[in-house]
């Protein structure tokens, strides 16, 4: 396992060591002791989530606040996505900035999204199965979101806007500027 710091504090790209042979491959996708020693954070993951989506599906930018704020460790089991983390910590020098990483079944790369960040992904392959661990349980009353095309954030989704598929809820999310005063992490 190799860890790369991103431009956003506490947000890390994780490259797993994959052992391949004629039978297939094996890798250890998570080891708490190793994870903590490499990034200096010891998450207590309590919930795993998985979704399957088709090309162009964009999920996010989502977050949870207050006592239900979540850190996530995300990866792709099948297909390819562009995964995005947005720093929403108002006191952070990188507030409103984002990092985008391609995650795929071929590169076995993971992204650690710390508490106080928004998270989103768009599917770049015909389909993708997305998996993530959360260090806090989902709570509907604590959820929030930011519109995917917020010009202040400026994410290049690497897919034509006409090909994006969003839920009604995600298509109606506010901009960061509209909600920044109500953020609390």
Q: Which of 98, 119, 132, 148 is catalytic?
A: 132
CA distance 142 to 160: 31
* First-to-final CA distance of the chain: 30
- The rounded Cα 83 to chain-centroid distance in angstroms is 5
- C-alpha to C-alpha distances, 147 to 44, 77, 81, 89, 177, nearest whole angstrom: 29, 26, 18, 17, 11
Question: What is the sign of the dihedral through the CA atoms of 108, 28, 11 and 181?
Answer: positive
132 classed as catalytic: yes
Q: Which of 62, 68, 98, 108 is catalytic?
A: 62
15 classed as catalytic: no
Active site residues: 62, 132
């Amino acid at each position: 396992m190799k860890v790369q710091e991103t431009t956003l504090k506490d947000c890390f790209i994780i490259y797993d060591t994959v052992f391949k042979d004629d039978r297939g491959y094996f890798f250890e996708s998570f080891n708490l002791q190793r994870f903590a020693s490499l990034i200096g954070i010891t998450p207590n993951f309590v919930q795993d989530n998985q979704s399957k989506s088709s090309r162009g599906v964009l999920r996010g930018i989502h977050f949870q606040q207050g006592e239900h704020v979540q850190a996530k460790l995300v990866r792709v089991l099948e297909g390819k996505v562009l995964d995005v983390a947005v720093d929403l910590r108002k006191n952070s020098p990188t507030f409103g900035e984002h990092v985008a990483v391609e995650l795929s079944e071929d590169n076995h790369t993971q992204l650690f999204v710390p508490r106080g960040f928004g998270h989103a992904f768009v599917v770049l392959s015909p389909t993708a199965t997305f998996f993530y661990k959360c260090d806090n349980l989902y709570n509907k009353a604590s959820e929030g979101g930011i519109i995917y095309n917020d010009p202040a954030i400026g994410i290049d989704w690497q897919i034509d806007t006409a090909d994006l598929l969003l839920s009604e809820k995600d298509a109606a999310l506010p901009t960061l500027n509209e909600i920044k005063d109500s953020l609390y992490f």
